[in-house]
Structure 1
Amino acid sequence: MDSSASSKKHSEKENPYSQNVDEVLRSFKTDPEKGLSDDEAEKRLDTYGRNQLKKQEQKSLLEILIDQINNPIVYLLTAAAVLAFVFGDIPEGIAIVVVLILNTMIGFWMEFQARKSMNALQEMDKVMAHVFRGGEDKEIDAELLVPGDILELEAGALVPADARLIEASELSVDESPLTGESVPVSKEIDPLEVETQVADQKNMVFKGTAVTNGHGKAVIVTTGMDTQIGNISEMVSKAEKEQIPLNRKLETLTKKLIWVTASLATAFFLVGWMTGKELYQLVQTAIAWTIAAIPEGLPIVASIALAKGMLRLADHNVIVKQLAAVETLGETTVIFTDKTGTLTENRLTLQMVEFDNMKGEVKWEKEKNRADIVASELAENRLKKNDKRLKRFFEIAVLCNDAELNHAENGENGEGDPLDISLLEFGKTFDSDRFNELREMERIHEEPFDSEDMVMGTVYEIDGKIMLLCKGAAESIAPRCSNTFSDGSLSEFTDEDKEKWNHRNQELSEDGLRVIAFAFRELEQKPAEDTDVEKELMQDLTFLCLSGFIDPPREEVKESVATCQKAGIKVEMVTGDHPGTARNIAREVNVADEESDKAIHGSELREDVDEHDRKEVVNTQIFARVDPEQKLKIIEYYQQNGDIVAMTGDGVNDAPALKKADIGIAMGERGTQVAQEVSDMVLKNDAFSSIVQAVREGRIIFGNIRKFIIYQLSYHLSEILIIAGVSFSVFALPLLPLQLLFLNLLSDVFPALALGIGQGNPKIMEQDPKDPEEPIINRNNWIMIALYGLILTLFISGAYFFALFYWHLSEEVCNNVAFFSLAFAQLWHVFDMREANEPIFNNQVTQNSYVWVAVVFCVSVIIASYFIPQTYDVLSYQQMDLSTWILIGITSVLPMITIQSLKEITKNSRFEF
């Protein structure tokens, strides 16, 4: 289909919400009773295309494979392997190729598994829709819907396209996936102003939202990518993703290593060539330097360390789609969290009831399946169930109610308006016996809730009296009342009383509560069947109380937020909900307090902000009534401020921000497919606490990666210095390329890997996040690496020169002295990776069982290689007497003793060795 044609067609029918019903129907040339004919629907399907969103392209298996290979270290090692094959060192070339294949396989396998997990998570059933076609009510595949189709909506249905309502009866729609609004929106059919925002377009229903109550008819106005969800999906594709910090830092480190290697190899080659040395020896030394300078195991160990963290997180219900994303969480300085369903339970709950001269707070005890009302001014005294006011409130809550609970055992979940379900849940848990009695009563008459009158009334016979029970919006109930029920007796409901309660209603609404009023009237006789309850009976009511409802915070969130704050991570709420609701929940979970609960409205976020406004934004904890484009602006402000941003979300409205953030975290249980596809991580249990666990794991992984890089680079530096010192002084090669490759395959993989999968510092979440701009190896780390490398070089080179000049051993035997001394010294060096403030014998390294297994394994392999004829010849081993082995043993231990001693001496100084 021509997209320009589609845009033109839709532009002709802009703003259907601002037109009346007849205008909309004429515009789309459709009949509200018959709908479109099958032929006309087929033509429009050809014009507009299928009602579906563009799917995010997944990486192909080939692309995943290329990502693993696209690494400067891989390029350098490939060049070394080619040189080895060219000059006939077949074993050397094969060994390097094996290293490359292992690294590629590990990275490929883990990302492939992550993709499989996401595919399993995104399996969705086909959506069907009820439409009128040719005068018949048909159920068709939602992908075949076209503009002009007449859509029938019932409670429980998923809205399959954007549509303008033409009929609505008690219709409420959950629009949280699109707007973030936690409370279902009551719908109407009257036209609205042209400037009306999407969240306030009450005569429209939108693709991806769900009908919670009532029924209605609507004419479809846009489908597929032209819907609101489609517009957001398009925004997602345009949002630019920042490069993962770990990738940037490893890339920077790799480039430095390549320059060092190339410079040294070139210098040696030129000096040797000018002095007439043999070309093969020069090339072999250059290859040795390449192998010595480049930690071959770095990509392998980094991948496995990240994969291990990925598997740990899987145990905590976190799916990680890219390995490096785990580490980025460890650098996170701010978490933007949606409110609905992430910080809250995504369900309305009765929180308070306020009578005349007495306020009651509802206390829920889930473990005991019980609810009580506590009088605020009575020092936690629970109101008695026979209190006249509370008894009447209970009756109205249960009987003036059209919802049904699904589970009789615990009252959880139900069908109908979420507010009504909440009242039934309260009634069931507050007094189950009385609840069951009331639910068995026969309803005499009723006035269903109407979105225009905003009231509902039912008539029952209770204790021999005919009672009219009413609830609704306070501004609709109060004018109908002439009495008030205070302390069990009736008194006049004056104009001052009405003003007082209307003011109180406004205060509670501004605090984020959804407020309704309760009233009643005793009738003299049963009303006739044809009585208009609203017009004839709902007058001279007795005002009873106001009640407040809220989507309650998850129980574990407060503790998780406190952990983040202790760890120096800012937690910010970004929601499509109203500022009052956002502030209330923010205070409940300690995201903000009364002094810092200012909420910035989305409309206040402008393109042309100055430095002062930008600082105000990054110092604010609450952002309310925010649309998808404004979420992108907020993230940009923080990223420009130098923050590493994690963004949580579940709805389509969150998708652009999830993609833009450094780490996008989607919800797995209730998250939309669009949100999950663009995110870096998915929480299978939707728990905010899982984010905290992921941050902790990310910090541990970064610390472990830093440890094994320091470990690897320090002994690789010693290899470079040993080769340089001996080669430039006596023009001998103290360590052969194949020996180095064999040694590095052991040390680079097994001890380094053991460091990479350690449990980390148990107090790591009590530390501030490190500077996002800090390189993976900082200045102090480089000093440590240099000192460690120098100490190893002094002892190993010393052993070589001692054997060469004092014992007058052959170059071949001296080579073995250097090789075995360095081999064992590198293994003992892993114990030097403890932090300076940790004890020598009881620290993260010595408590890591993997380290001990790795050291024992590597020692066994090195010793075995000396006694196996094949490896003996390939590695150019020589026969050595006992004194030579003693020299090797002493030389290998002295570096560790020296480094551990220096750690103890400097542990209270400014520089930790």
Structure 2
Amino acid sequence: METTGETADAHVRARQATPAYQLDIDAVLSACDTSAGGLTSAEADRRLAECGPNGIVAQHKRSPVREYLGQFADPMIILLLVSGAVSAYLGEPGTAIVLVLLVLFNTAIGFAQEFRAEKSLEALENLLEPTCEVIRDGSQLSVDSSRVVPGDVVVLDEGGAVPADVRLIWAEAFSTNDFALTGESVPATKFLHPISGTVPVAKRHNLAYAGTTVATGQARGVVIATAGDTEIGRIAALSQSVPDTRSPLQREIGHLARTLTSAILVIAVILLIVAMAADMAFKEAMLFAVGVAGALIPQGLPAEVNTALAQAASTLAKAKALVKRLSAVETLGATAVICTDKTGTLTKNEMTVIEYRALGEPGTVSGTGYAPEGELLIDGSAVTADRSRAWRDWFLAMALPNSAGLHRPDSQHPDWYVTGDPTEGALLTLVAKAGLDRDRMLSEYRYIRELPFDSARKLMTAIREHDGRTVAYTKGAPESVLAACTHIRDADGVRPLTDDDRAEFSSHIAGLAGRALRNLALAVRELDDDTRVRVHSDGPAADHAVMAAVERHMTLLGTVSMIDPVRDQVPDAMAAARGAHINVNILTGDAATTASAIATRAGLGEPAELTTISADDFDAMSDDEIVRHALSGSTVFARVAPEDKMRIVDLVKKSGNVVAVTGDGVNDAPALKHADIGVAMGRSGTDVAKQSAEMILLDDSFATLVRAVSLGRTVYANITKGVLSCLTSNAAELVVNLVSLVLSIVAGVPLAINVLQILAIDILGELFPIAAIGTDRQEGELMRRAPRDPRSHILNARAVADLAWCGLVVGAITMGNYLLFYGRHGVNPFAGDVPDDVVWQATTVTYVSILLCQLVNIIQRRSIHGFFTRYQFHNAQFWWAMGAGIAIMLVIVYVPVVADFFQCGPLDAVDWLFVLGGAVIFLAVREAQRIVFPAVRSQPVDRSPIRRSRHESANWGSYERFSVGLTYSPQAPDLCWPREGT
């Protein structure tokens, strides 16, 4: 039938009037202006031109040039550029060039890391299958998925992808894997009849959705929506509509830059006023004030921040976590609440049989996942298929009525994997664990007929012939199998099934279901002559009669119980999160019973500690109730829609807490985008989820996320140490400049240090050691403290006081050394006309005094335990950087050409003794301060308003178990860090 082609928007109007799932097949075909024979090619081309290609518009990606230019928006980079402009204006082109090179170095670090992350992400992307099967002009043909249009009739086969949203018009044993869209961990069985009333996406079982895959069977469906009109498109639009927000670190660096800029401007104005009050010419006063203020900008700070973040991103990449934006690393460290998906994140997304009952004997199964590694155990003894003929029938009932495939690892699959229904795949793994070869079983037991699964019978039967026997092997829902059985086989043989047996069986299944296990029952029947005749009858019309004749008078063999197993490291990772005062919640589209059982196994809490909130309860809750549950942790939000996840995340953010969200499906994308940091799964995640996230877990492991949180905390601690270390020398330089200016105005004493020497401290002397701090390992009990408050600042009142104190101490020591130098060499600096070579030597004393005190300060600030601690020896890179700083200092002092450029003069042994003595005095003052006021440096952050975890008793042992593959020493618990390759 050729369609009239009046409009390509008929499907849209139909959806607005009556949803397609509420219409019968004829009404849907009519609404879409098509037929069961599909569109004509001409009509399909016309609709394609009118509706556009079938594809989700990717989030806008900036060009590499714009990406690089975006690095210059960093406030600290702007400060460096201003400093360079000031230097050029002052007639110091060499200084300006150095600052510009430093800007290029800093921007290159950030751009290189983010560019690599973007390229890695592109390599992971693989949205819809490139081709699909459609019916056009009455024939089946293969077309590019992007050319599918509304009204097309698509053909769906097992293992394939659904290219668009379709209303099913024909199906045979058809089910789809919808977890990426709905969060359901088991395949959704589909049917054809219309659905009355309004139901959520997960309950529209006569539809198949774009982005899902076919688990079992075959089907045909008419396309009702493509591209942005699909469910996947609608959710993608939700995630893409969220504006980009700055991370806590970006906000903190911005605050720091604004604070420093304001302080430097105030200092410049003060210096200008003081200089003019001393009768200095306005131009000279302006140049001096601007020059000194420009030199006070912490030029090494952006390099320290970017180096720390880049190093952390590199470490995370080795640990299977890809960071798309450098600042996201630190955001993890401030995380107070984690809202995690269940399937594929906490669990393996691999159904695994863990318990069974065979011939009346209960047993367990070792090993998880699809890899056939493990054993069937009864009372600790392994069971094999040759135990008895009856046991072999039990295995045959799993292997023969089974349309799944179990496959070895290959170039595209690093592990064993299943095609088809994951539940059936789990049965094949169990068969392989018993040492049976399924392919051999299929060849030995000759195929007669197969009665496929359907949603009414909930049974699947394979009829095979072997040794002259025609046998029906059946598996299915326990209640359906039980209804088909009249006998039971136990250890004593076959006997009639009694009412007590039925009651005991039903009670057993109910108990298993209460533990969120997915259960199947197995049965067998040797067919009599009459039934064999019916089996060989042909034609679909005879199917129901054959089913009724075969699936009765069966013998119950037993049951198998399976679950999507929790990843091995998840319980210890949960314990580590609790110990770090991070509250974890589960947000899932799965059923409440299943989600709660997984939460218990994952270590989120004991059943009595968990709070499970269903979709109906959630809809009735106020914002205050939701945020209270989210902030208390150990809450399972079940059957939540994408909009519900967004609501939870937004409420947590509004409470002032940093929230991380994990997910892999399209339904997780909006929450990933709304979160402070979205974490997507790299292996099982959809492209929409990966595009919406800032971090991608390449191993899909929650444990990797918790390790990343630990690293994020370490990064912020290192950045804090670097910032305060950097500003200490600037505070000292300010004190020296102010005192020197006063002495120059009042008594004519030469200025104690010049701008080039200040830059030599900030750029050449301290830059490498401060940048190397970014590679420091975690110290102390960082993962047992509460998350930092994102509203707190590095430059708080306590830090400013400490910087002022350090500046005064170093300034006093330095000015003392400067004036003592003149005394030792018999020169009166107050007399005027001091020779230039003597001034150069004196300013060199100032330069090396500040630099050596600064190097001592950097070492002392590295550890909360001060200068003398084992922690100081762990980072060889830091000590190489210290050596480089000292070597550069010696080159500046003693290499003539370089010394002339910086206006420095050589020092003798006595000069060095005074300089080193000053550094020792400063160290003694700092160590005394640490001992007398320990709370200033080591008090853990105890934040509010978030309520503490319910598991306050979680001890370090849990974290130590979680940290398998980490270096840990009871004598030095701060030395805990992933070893290379772990």
User: Is the shorter-chain TM-score for this pair beyond 0.5, marking a shared fold?
Assistant: yes
Instruction: Give the match for residue 235 of structure 1.
Output: 238
Instruction: Give the match for residue 573 of structure 1.
Output: 586
Contact 1:295 1:748 in 2 (8 A): no
Instruction: Give the match for residue 509 of structure 2.
Output: 505
State whether structure 2 residue 848 is matched by structure 1 residue 820.
yes
More off after superposition, 275-284 vs 55-64: 275-284
Letter in 2 for 1:690: T
State whether structure 2 residue 730 is matched by structure 1 residue 716.
yes
Relative to structure 1, the CA distance from residue 398 to residue 779 in structure 2 (aligned partners, 3 Å threshold; closer, same or farther) is same
Instruction: Report deviation, 1:762.
Output: 6.5
Q: Deviations over 1:389-421 (max 9, x none)?
A: 645422322233333433499994344332222
Instruction: Give the match for residue 879 of structure 2.
Output: 852
Instruction: Report deviation, 1:883.
Output: 4.1
Instruction: Give the match for residue 794 of structure 1.
Output: 812
SS of structure 1 residue aligned to 2:768: helix
Instruction: Report deviation, 1:848.
Output: 2.0
Relative to structure 1, the CA distance from residue 706 to residue 911 in structure 2 (aligned partners, 3 Å threshold; closer, same or farther) is closer
Instruction: Report deviation, 1:516.
Output: 2.1
Relative to structure 1, the CA distance from residue 889 to residue 47 in structure 2 (aligned partners, 3 Å threshold; closer, same or farther) is same
Instruction: Report deviation, 1:96.
Output: 2.7
Instruction: Give the match for residue 541 of structure 1.
Output: 554
SS of structure 1 residue aligned to 2:173: strand
Distance 2:222 2:438 in 1: 45
Relative to structure 1, the CA distance from residue 383 to residue 121 in structure 2 (aligned partners, 3 Å threshold; closer, same or farther) is closer
Relative to structure 1, the CA distance from residue 413 to residue 71 in structure 2 (aligned partners, 3 Å threshold; closer, same or farther) is closer
State whether structure 2 residue 39 is matched by structure 1 residue 26.
no
Distance 2:939 2:656 in 1: 27
Instruction: Give the match for residue 517 of structure 1.
Output: 521
Q: Of residues 901, 921, 925 in structure 2, which corresponds to 1:874?
A: 901
Instruction: Report deviation, 1:497.
Output: 4.5
Relative to structure 1, the CA distance from residue 632 to residue 610 in structure 2 (aligned partners, 3 Å threshold; closer, same or farther) is closer
Letter in 2 for 1:75: I
Instruction: Give the match for residue 733 of structure 1.
Output: 751
Contact 1:284 1:737 in 2 (8 A): no
Instruction: Report deviation, 1:152.
Output: 0.7
Contact 2:153 2:223 in 1 (8 A): yes
Instruction: Give the match for residue 185 of structure 1.
Output: 188
Instruction: Give the match for residue 151 of structure 1.
Output: 154
More off after superposition, 177-186 vs 596-605: 596-605
Instruction: Give the match for residue 757 of structure 1.
Output: 775
Relative to structure 1, the CA distance from residue 461 to residue 78 in structure 2 (aligned partners, 3 Å threshold; closer, same or farther) is closer
Superposed, 1:691-702 pairs within 5 Å as 691-702=705-716
Q: Of residues 643, 652, 656 in structure 2, which corresponds to 1:642?
A: 656
More off after superposition, 11-20 vs 762-771: 762-771
Distance 1:578 1:282 in 2: 74
Instruction: Give the match for residue 843 of structure 1.
Output: 870
SS of structure 2 residue aligned to 1:221: strand
Letter in 2 for 1:247: Q
SS of structure 1 residue aligned to 2:871: coil
Superposed, 1:399-438 pairs within 5 Å as 399-407=400-408, 412-432=416-436, 436=440
State whether structure 2 residue 186 is matched by structure 1 residue 205.
no
Contact 1:755 1:845 in 2 (8 A): no
Contact 2:340 2:585 in 1 (8 A): yes
Q: Of residues 720, 723, 726 in structure 2, which corresponds to 1:706?
A: 720
Q: Deviations over 1:427-460 (max 9, x none)?
A: 1211437994576222344322223221122334
Distance 1:408 1:712 in 2: 52
Relative to structure 1, the CA distance from residue 623 to residue 79 in structure 2 (aligned partners, 3 Å threshold; closer, same or farther) is same
Any stretches of 5+ residues in structure 1 without a counterpart?
none
Relative to structure 1, the CA distance from residue 325 to residue 470 in structure 2 (aligned partners, 3 Å threshold; closer, same or farther) is same
Contact 1:405 1:413 in 2 (8 A): yes
Distance 2:460 2:390 in 1: 20
Instruction: Report deviation, 1:154.
Output: 0.7
Contact 1:747 1:826 in 2 (8 A): no
Letter in 1 for 2:397: I
Letter in 1 for 2:738: A
More off after superposition, 669-678 vs 398-407: 398-407
Instruction: Report deviation, 1:270.
Output: 1.6
Letter in 2 for 1:837: H
Contact 2:766 2:854 in 1 (8 A): no
Instruction: Report deviation, 1:85.
Output: 2.5
State whether structure 2 residue 462 is matched by structure 1 residue 458.
yes
More off after superposition, 219-228 vs 254-263: 254-263
Distance 2:305 2:528 in 1: 81
Instruction: Give the match for residue 334 of structure 2.
Output: 331
Instruction: Give the match for residue 4 of structure 2.
Output: none
Letter in 2 for 1:147: P
Q: Deviations over 1:12-57 (max 9, x none)?
A: 564111111111111112120x211122212222332211111101
Instruction: Report deviation, 1:180.
Output: 1.4
SS of structure 1 residue aligned to 2:141: strand
Distance 1:407 1:637 in 2: 45
Q: Deviations over 1:295-345 (max 9, x none)?
A: 111111111111111111111122111111111111222222221112222
Instruction: Give the match for residue 865 of structure 1.
Output: 892
Relative to structure 1, the CA distance from residue 23 to residue 368 in structure 2 (aligned partners, 3 Å threshold; closer, same or farther) is closer
Distance 2:840 2:720 in 1: 36
Q: Of residues 603, 613, 616 in structure 1, which corresponds to 2:629?
A: 616
SS of structure 1 residue aligned to 2:606: coil
Q: Deviations over 1:730-773 (max 9, x none)?
A: 33532211211122112341110121222232753344333333
Relative to structure 1, the CA distance from residue 447 to residue 115 in structure 2 (aligned partners, 3 Å threshold; closer, same or farther) is closer
Q: Of residues 696, 700, 706 in structure 2, which corresponds to 1:682?
A: 696
Relative to structure 1, the CA distance from residue 636 to residue 908 in structure 2 (aligned partners, 3 Å threshold; closer, same or farther) is closer
State whether structure 2 residue 123 is matched by structure 1 residue 120.
yes
Instruction: Report deviation, 1:486.
Output: 3.9
Instruction: Give the match for residue 360 of structure 1.
Output: 363
Contact 2:592 2:638 in 1 (8 A): yes
Q: Of residues 655, 663, 680 in structure 2, which corresponds to 1:666?
A: 680
Instruction: Report deviation, 1:5.
Output: 6.7
Q: Of residues 348, 351, 356 in structure 1, which corresponds to 2:351?
A: 348
Contact 2:522 2:557 in 1 (8 A): yes
Any stretches of 5+ residues in structure 2 without a counterpart?
1-6, 941-982
Distance 1:783 1:298 in 2: 20
Instruction: Report deviation, 1:812.
Output: 5.1
Distance 1:579 1:608 in 2: 17
Distance 1:272 1:751 in 2: 35
More off after superposition, 294-303 vs 454-463: 454-463
Q: Deviations over 1:575-621 (max 9, x none)?
A: 11111111121111212222123321234334871534531343343
Contact 1:651 1:675 in 2 (8 A): yes
Distance 2:638 2:243 in 1: 24
Number of positions where the alignment pairs a residue of Structure 1 with one of Structure 2? 906
Distance 1:5 1:384 in 2: 60
What root-mean-square deviation, in Å, do the aligned CA atoms of Structure 1 and Structure 2 show? 3.1
Distance 2:882 2:724 in 1: 17
Q: Of residues 579, 583, 587 in structure 1, which corresponds to 2:596?
A: 583
Distance 1:399 1:91 in 2: 81
Contact 2:360 2:489 in 1 (8 A): no
Instruction: Tell me the TM-score normalised to structure 2 length.
Output: 0.86
Distance 1:804 1:94 in 2: 34
Contact 1:395 1:438 in 2 (8 A): no
Letter in 2 for 1:304: T
Instruction: Give the match for residue 177 of structure 2.
Output: 174
Relative to structure 1, the CA distance from residue 872 to residue 618 in structure 2 (aligned partners, 3 Å threshold; closer, same or farther) is closer
Distance 2:908 2:447 in 1: 104
Distance 1:713 1:755 in 2: 14
Distance 2:213 2:309 in 1: 39
Relative to structure 1, the CA distance from residue 484 to residue 367 in structure 2 (aligned partners, 3 Å threshold; closer, same or farther) is closer
SS of structure 1 residue aligned to 2:447: coil
Distance 2:752 2:125 in 1: 57
More off after superposition, 885-894 vs 648-657: 885-894
Instruction: Report deviation, 1:494.
Output: 4.3
Instruction: Give the match for residue 527 of structure 1.
Output: 532
Distance 1:418 1:565 in 2: 33
State whether structure 2 residue 82 is matched by structure 1 residue 68.
no
